[in-house]
Amino acid sequence: MTIRFTAAVAACAIASTAAAAEHQDPHQLARDLFKQLVEIKTTESGLGSTPAAEAMAQRLLDAGFPAEDVHVVGPGGRKQNLVARLKGTGRKRPVLLIGHLDVVEALREDWSVDPFVFLEKDGYFYGRGTQDMKDGDAIMMTTLLRYRAEGYKPDRDIILALTADEEGSNANGVDWLLKNRRELVDAEFVLNHDGGGVMLEDGRAVQVDLTASEKVYADFDLTVTNPGGHSSVPPRENAIYSLARALDRVSSYDFAFELNNVTRAYFEHTAKHSAAEQAAVLRGVLQTPPDPEALEQLSGDPVYNAIVRTTCVATRLSGGHANNALPQTARANVNCRILPGHSPEEVRQELVKVVADPTVKVRYYNFLTEQLDDVAPNVRGYAPPPLRPDVLKPLEKVAAKMWPGAPVVPAMAVGASDSIYTNAAGLPTYMVSGSALARDDIRAHGQDERLGVQAFYNAVDFFYDYLKAVVAYR
């Protein structure tokens, strides 16, 4: 009796909260979630991800999600992840939505406002994570809560994973879930809200990105050591000179030109929407083999150059210990962004060849362990997954309605995200977001991070329509 009575009361509570959520203004709901997330300090030095994962789990339970579909899991302690499931008819395999809860550090004294107080000012929401990516977390949560409140039964389960340690440290939530709780997150494909997006120029949407490919990040340490000695009797051999020559060779070296299905599609789309001269260059590069003159011209643009080849650049330099002594050590950091399909070890070996001096040691710098390794990881950045029509077509349709005239452009990110884990695990991953940013207002990881108020609400509306269109696509 008692049990049945409790169950009945619980069912009532569920019905009334679900009804409340349905009648709640979706923008207000999204804003509340956004505020709540920004004000939980999910930095490494702060609280970690656990309080945010728990808070979002509570929101879902309050809205009537069954406890069996809401999990807070992880290695324990500060780095827990939320995994929630909106059950569908099971006609198709699930879709997984991912977003990271952690944010990079932000110091009050560096900002003009408190980074952990959600503030609406002059048409913007300010706070750490407003661009990267508590906006996306709040938007995906809002979408799930709305679908649940309407009693929507999708053709496939929709799984949401909000995770730890995307920005670094050693408990990456997506990696952990795939290795330890695969059954919770297994899906036919993945939508990652940590990329894509709408590009604004003079306040107008000009492009909607579909990011389906990423470069891999790697640091290499170049070190030369000499016995040293007095600088009054210098031999020819000198650590600083050797390192300078090595860096000079790196500076003039071009890694091989390469296109993949994503960057090829990117150039094809861009050519269609470019002025004649620019279009001719892009079409020249698309030829097989590429027109050498067009390629040279394209490579002169650092943004385009980074799309068609692996790049390596010196970013730090140190050496010597006294003005009147021969340097015993000289070292530099060379930062590389590696094209999909190639591994850091492959690039390290290529750097060794480019440097062409056995006295220059080329080692991999592992930023997680802060160690120098003689050999770099052999994992390859994932080959871009094919552009699925059920991801691309709905994006074209919804974007045309919301941002008329702004073409959908398949793109490659020059940074790296959690997509690397899902793709490596065989779950094709696409980065889609309706958040709009001006090209010159990218503040992720920076000071006074902010997102336009209207841009956020548009992104809320966008994702609600988009995800339904993806799930319903036939």
Contact footprint for Zn ion (CB under 5 A): 132-133, 194
Minimum distance between the CB of residue 161 and Zn ion, rounded to whole angstroms?
14
* Residue 132 or 209 with smaller CB distance to Zn ion: 132
Minimum distance between the CB of residue 445 and Zn ion, rounded to whole angstroms?
9
* Residue 18 or 413 with smaller CB distance to Zn ion: 413
* Residue 351 or 412 with smaller CB distance to Zn ion: 412
* Residue 134 or 363 with smaller CB distance to Zn ion: 134
- C-beta neighbour count of 271 within 10 angstroms: 17
Minimum distance between the CB of residue 392 and Zn ion, rounded to whole angstroms?
22
Minimum distance between the CB of residue 459 and Zn ion, rounded to whole angstroms?
15
CA distance 101 to 80: 10
CA distance 321 to 390: 60
* Residue 196 or 410 with smaller CB distance to Zn ion: 196
Minimum distance between the CB of residue 248 and Zn ion, rounded to whole angstroms?
35
Q: Where are the beta strands (DSSP E) in 101-155?
A: 119-121, 124-126
List Cβ<8 Å contacts ≥24 apart for 179-183: 180/73, 181/71, 181/73, 181/83, 182/425
Minimum distance between the CB of residue 89 and Zn ion, rounded to whole angstroms?
32
Minimum distance between the CB of residue 415 and Zn ion, rounded to whole angstroms?
9
Per the CB < 8 A criterion, the answer to whether 211 and 205 are in contact is: no
Omega within 30 of 0 (cis) for the link into 133: yes
Q: Which residues pair with 219 in a beta bridge?
A: 335, 365
Report CA 34 to chain centroid distance, whole Å.
19
Rg (CA), the chain: 25
Residue 261 backbone dihedrals phi, psi, to 5 degrees: -60, -30
* Residue 133 or 246 with smaller CB distance to Zn ion: 133
* Residue 31 or 128 with smaller CB distance to Zn ion: 128
- B/e letters for 327-348, b = 16+ CB within 10 Å, e = fewer, are bbbbbbebebbbbbebbbbebb
